[in-house]
Structure 1
Amino acid sequence: MPDLSVDLILLLVAAGFAGGFVDAIAGGGGLITLPALLLAGLPPAQALGTNKVQAIFGAATAAASYAARGLVDPKTQARAAAMAGAGGMAGAALVAWLPTDLLRIVLPVVLIGVAAFFALKPGLDDLDRARRMAPALITLLVVPAVGFYDGLLGPGAGSFYMIAFVTLAGYGVLKATAHTKLLNLFSNLGGLTVFALAGQPLWLLGAAMGVAQMAGAFFGARMAMRIGSRLIKPLLVVTSTALALRLIWQML
């Protein structure tokens, strides 16, 4: 475990708040918190485990906020949540087999891809459109695949869930965002189960970041419900691009 100063811990807590805020709106909070943990000097597996601890707080808060406003019914997502959790466990189980520098190489590519989709895809708004895949197939094929990615790497998983809901289920951007939260929660829980068995997470740091995540998620969900896609799209594009450039600069 690296020797973290008080100032660095406070910066990580601030990253937790920002991650919770962004994740509740645009589904990419891990794009802030995981790079922050890596830049703080945590080994990749430990950074992933700690990131799962704090992410659960924000995902649960955002899921409850959207459900309270009637934008999603958690009962209808029970099967999909279970599939997301299983995918998260499977992905996390393979982390130990990856080269330690792989995260630093993959993350900028993922970030740029997410930013490009939301910046260039026309017609993304809060209106529902034609469905391209049956919900059962999305649950069977897409949800566990994104859950697997969430356990394996993590950042951007909420954005990938949202892309699937927009392009395949035909949801508007706000409705898609609301439907990602419970799946994000369970894929994080699945991944954390594996990391906890391996003793990887920094529990106290994760909990401190998690409390800040809850506050950020609360305010982010309320702002997203008030403004909708006019806020969600640009925030996700700007955040993803900025973090990709930051990570590339660090590697160079």
Structure 2
Amino acid sequence: MDAYIWQLPLLFAVGIIAGILNVLAGGGSLLTLPLLIFMGLPSAVANGTNRIAIFCQNIFAIRGFRKRGVMPMELALLCTPPALVGSWVGASLAISLDDQIFNRLLALIMLGVLVFTTLDPMKRLRKEGIEIAFARKAVIVVSFFGVGIYGGFVQAGVGFIVITALLVHGLDLVRINAIKVFVIFCYTFIALGVFIWHDQVNYLLGFALAAGNSLGGAIGPKLAVDKGHDWIKKVVTLTVLVFALKLLFFP
């Protein structure tokens, strides 16, 4: 345990940044996962350990969004069940992954999000709430089953996928981020359970990272509500561009 003492403050500091990024946009795990691997954890253990931080972070983020009255619970509860099932499937498959292929695919996904958020084709349709007709419900259920599989399997970058899945329905980014942290919190409970069952979690490093992520998760909702959709759009754009370029040219 003593060998990890010097790592704990670093994990806490990086966790704060990752927590804020995860609430406002996504990609925080693209900072924390490589750091955990650099500290000597196998990839699967790093993946499982990171889930402790994600789970704790979103407890504070959900509280922050609910406190500010911007949590669309009806839509969040619609998105959650298919994501729960998908996360179990994804986490169960998280045994081996070709890092280079994953990085290239993730970079392409993120660039797609960048184009979508920049063009913002749903701007004229955006409103605080959306009418959830049957066809829209079906699309949401299918898309969030896919979100759950991806999030359970990898987690890194899932926030960008959630943003894309909800932007097409005309929701603003403040409420999208509220739904995002609720859904990710719920499915992370399932995914973390799978990693714990297979003994793929380092609890000391995980809780050190979770402390930082939780602080970032508490700060993020205030920034989201105070700054609004257009400011978050700039954060999303910059975050996606930086991480996508990193994945494409510095894998």
Q: Same fold (TM over 0.5)?
A: yes
- In the TM superposition, what are the counterparts of 1:161-172 in structure 2 within 5 Å? 161-167=162-168, 169-172=169-172
1:26 aligns with 2:28: no
Residue 221 (1) aligns with residue 230 (2): no
By how many angstroms is 1:73 displaced? 4.6
Q: Secondary structure at the match of 2:95?
A: helix
> Does residue 1:10 correspond to 2:3, yes or no?
no
SS of 1:96's partner is: coil
Instruction: Calculate the TM-score normalised by the size of structure 1.
Output: 0.84
Corresponding residue for residue 117 of structure 2: 118
Q: Distance in 2 between matches of 1:202 and 1:101?
A: 25
Q: Which runs of 5+ in 2 are unaligned?
A: none
User: For the residues of structure 1 that align with 2:75 and 2:16, how far apart are their CA atoms?
Assistant: 29
Query: For residues 224 and 109 of structure 1, what CA distance do their matches in structure 2 show?
Result: 26
CA distance in 1, matches of 2:38, 2:221: 27
1:135-159 deviations in Å (ceiling 9; x for gaps): 5314421111101100111112122
Are the equivalent residues in 2 in contact too, given 1:87–1:190 (CA < 8 A)? no
Distance 2:124 2:12 in 1: 32
Q: Which residue of 2 aligns with 1:197?
A: 197
> After alignment, is 216-225 or 20-29 more displaced?
20-29
- Which amino acid letter does the alignment assign opposite residue 21 of structure 1? I
8 A contact 2:55–2:185 mirrored in 1: yes
Between the aligned partners of 1:248 and 1:236, the Cα distance in structure 2 is: 18
Aligned positions, number: 248
TM-score by length of 2: 0.85
For the residue of structure 2 that corresponds to 1:228, the secondary structure is helix
Question: Which amino acid in the other structure matches residue 111 of structure 1?
Answer: M
**Are 2:183 and 1:183 equivalent residues in the alignment?**
yes
Q: Match of 1:47, as an amino acid?
A: A
- Report the Cα distance in structure 2 between the residues aligned to 1:114 and 1:70, rounded to whole angstroms: 27
Paired letter, 1:148: I
Amino acid of the structure 1 residue aligned with 2:10: L
- 210-219 or 135-144: bigger deviation: 135-144
RMSD of Structure 2 on Structure 1 (CA): 2.9
Aligned residue in 1 for 2:161: 160
- Amino acid corresponding to residue 30 of structure 1 in structure 2: S
